[in-house]
Amino acid sequence: MTARTTLSLPDGFRPESLALGAEPVAYFGSLADGSILAVDLLDGTGRTVSPACGGQAGGLWLDGRGRLFVAGCFHGDARVVDVRTGEVLASYRLTDAQPALVADVVVTGDAAWFTDSFNPVLYRLPLGADGELPAQDAVERIPLSGDFPHVEGFNASGITTTPDSSALLVVHSGTGELFRVDPATGAATRVELAGSRLPSGDGMARTGTTLHVALGRENSVAVVQLDTSGTNGVVLERISSNDFDVPTAVAVHGDRLVVVNSRITTEPKSTTPYTALVFHRGQEGSRPMTARRLDSVLDPSQLFHTGLVVADLEEAQEKLSHLFGYSWTTVMELDVTARTKDGLQRAKQRFVLSVEEPRLELVEEIPGTVWVSNGANGAHHVGYWAEAEEIEKISSALVELGLEVEATNDVEQDGVTLWSYHRGLGGIRIELLSTLMRPSMEAWIAGTDPALLADGPL
């Protein structure tokens, strides 16, 4: 596999992890001095988000509020940084145990979870109903039990959630096993991987039911297909590259797979060069990659969902679950306003998204609005992400191709275009969705209560 792009990081930086949000910007943390660097995936330009702090920056997680949760590695601490201003919003002492290695972090709807590679425990930072950060005395320590072994050397490393968001997934770096952990008790159950292991498993990134795992000293990245509960999985392939140099973290953004070269087997000097690699996910292994036409209006990698308008939401969920095995988000209920050529349409909308990909959206029919069934044609729309600064340009390009604007959000009221419907493709609409909504959508899919997202850009 050939790297599509090499991102150059500062000499001596010692990257260990990265985080990605809705925008094509990667955040890297330094083991050398704890600084945080933001790098644009499109042009490779970078800026310092948070300067050297005398600590370390291990695992990173960017939430939908622009807050970067940072694992403090050998310092046994954690902090939360505003990526827009660089302000440290909160700092936490997670453990006084020696040795300790706070390795990775994942943020769920109600908490931030941290692993410790040297101690059989997870650290939990409970979040408020509106995402409020807790006080120091709210830090919880959840012992790992059940199947999870504690061995000499490295233990718990990368952490993420199961596809249905009901539990945590933790990879054991020492044994190469993957565990499903009950967040209420810390009880761990071994995930059955059909006899495969994840040796030297480190940072993980899950998209739907596909899990990417960085296999550090193996110089590869494993691709695992999970069931929705995260109980069973199959290792589909191991991606290798001559450009890998102890990859310890991986993240996914659209069709891009970003891998950190930690180079931890190389003596760290102030002059040691460091990189991250950006691949097209379609280049993995033997799976074919179809080249995108450079003059195409839409990017196929940004297809988000296929939308169906149904008469009864719960009935449709049940039938499609029975037919195709889909599980669903909690129902979102919103007061929406659609601006059409005939004026404003106001309605209370109910809809859900499938947790699994390829993703479906089910919208309950609202007579007299744009949300009515297409009848025998089935699909109501296909939804594509569009960068916030590009959505109006893409919309104009669709109009030039004969796909007229049927409806948008109330741009005059909202100030920006958040979504638009274009019609003219055999009756099926194309929906453009601004990436401003992506963090909220991803949080919803990950299990966040939709009531907590209703005030955001949805």
Which one of 111-125, 347-361, 382-396, 421-435 scores highest in mean pLDDT? 111-125
CATH of the domain at 211: 2.130.10.10
- The answer to whether 223 and 284 are in contact (CB under 8 A) is yes
- 285 pLDDT above the threshold of 90: no
Average pLDDT over residues 329-337: 93
Mean pLDDT in residue range 46-71 = 95
Same domain membership, residue 201 and residue 321? no
> Does residue 51 have a cis peptide bond before it, meaning omega lies within 30 degrees of 0?
no
DSSP 383-401: EEEE-TTTHHHHHHHHHHT
Give 215: exposed, middle or buried? Use CB within 10 Å, 0-12, 13-18, 19+.
buried
Q: Quick one: pLDDT at residue 402?
A: 87
Same domain, 36 and 155: yes
pLDDT tier at 294 (50, 70, 90 boundaries)? very low
What tokens appear for 270 in the block?
């102030």
Are both 243 and 354 inside the same structural domain? no
Q: What is the pLDDT of residues 204-219, one digit of tens each?
A: 999 889 999 999 999 9
Stated as kind and residue range, the H or E segment containing 159 is strand 156-161
Among 67-81, 287-301, 443-457, where is mean pLDDT lowest? 287-301
pLDDT of the residue at 284: 40
CATH number at residue 410: 3.10.180.10
Domain range for 354 is 300-452
Domain boundary among 230, 258, 283: 283
Same domain, 389 and 340: yes
Q: Do residues 279 and 310 share a domain?
A: no
Confidence label for 244 from pLDDT (cuts 50, 70 and 90): very high
How sure is the predictor about 408, in pLDDT bands with cuts at 50, 70 and 90?
very high
Q: Say whether pLDDT at 332 is over 60.
A: yes
Q: Biggest alpha carbon distance in the chain?
A: 70
CA dist 152 and 360 (Å) reads 45
pLDDT of residue 447: 80
Average of pLDDT values for 224-240?
A: 91
Classify residue 388: in a domain, yes or no.
Answer: yes
Exposure b/e, 53-83, CB count within 10 A at least 16 = b: bebbbbbbbbbbbebbbbbbbbbbbbbbbeb
- Residue 333 and residue 262 share a domain: no
Which is higher by pLDDT, 261 or 256? 261
As a whole number, mean pLDDT of residues 256-273 equals 95
Domain total of the chain: 2
Which of the four pLDDT bands, split at 50, 70 and 90, describes residue 442?
confident
In a domain, 125, yes or no: yes
pLDDT on residue 301: 74
93-97, 358-362, 436-440, 451-455: the lowest-pLDDT one:
451-455
Q: HSE of 326 in the Cβ direction (CA atoms, 13 Å)?
A: 23
Of 187 and 440, more confident? 187
Percent of the chain whose pLDDT exceeds 90: 73
Kindly indicate the confidence band of residue 330, based on its pLDDT and cuts at 50, 70 and 90. Answer: very high
Q: Are residues 219 and 326 in the same domain?
A: no
Residue 290 has pLDDT above 70, yes or no: no
Same-domain status, 90 and 223:
yes
pLDDT band at 82 (very low <50, low <70, confident <90, very high): very high
Residues 350, 251 share a domain: no
What are the tokens at 267? 């003596």
Please state, in angstroms and rounded to a whole number, the distance separating the CA atoms of residues 240 and 232.
Answer: 24
pLDDT single digits (tens) 338-372: 999 999 999 999 999 999 888 999 999 999 999 99
395 occurs within a structural domain: yes
Place of tokens 């959206």: 361
Q: State the pLDDT confidence band at 4, using cuts at 50, 70 and 90.
A: low
In a domain, 291, yes or no: no
Q: Are 114 and 123 in contact (CB under 8 A)?
A: yes
Place of tokens 């450009």: 243
**Length of the chain as a residue count:** 458
Same-domain pairing of 275 and 366? no
Q: How confident is the model at residue 108 (pLDDT cuts 50, 70, 90)?
A: very high
Tell me the torsion sign for CA atoms 106, 111, 117, 121: negative
Last-in-domain residue among 251, 283, 315? 283
**Contact predicate 178/201, CB 8 Å:** yes
* Pairwise CA distance, residues 234 & 323, whole Å: 22
Question: Residue 458: what pLDDT?
Answer: 53
Instruction: State yes or no: pLDDT of 376 exceeds 70.
Output: no
Mean pLDDT of the chain: 90
Quick one: pLDDT at residue 287? Answer: 38
Q: How far apart are CA 276 and CA 266, in angstroms?
A: 15
DSSP 8-state class, residue 301: G
Final residue before a domain boundary, out of 283, 317, 350: 283
Predicted pLDDT of residue 390: 85
pLDDT band of 155, cuts 50, 70, 90: very high
Strands 36-40 and 25-30: antiparallel
Q: Is residue 98 part of a domain?
A: yes
Residues 93 and 136 placed together within one structural domain of the fold:
yes
**Rounded to two decimals, what is the model's pTM?**
0.65
Domain shared by 432 and 319, yes or no: yes
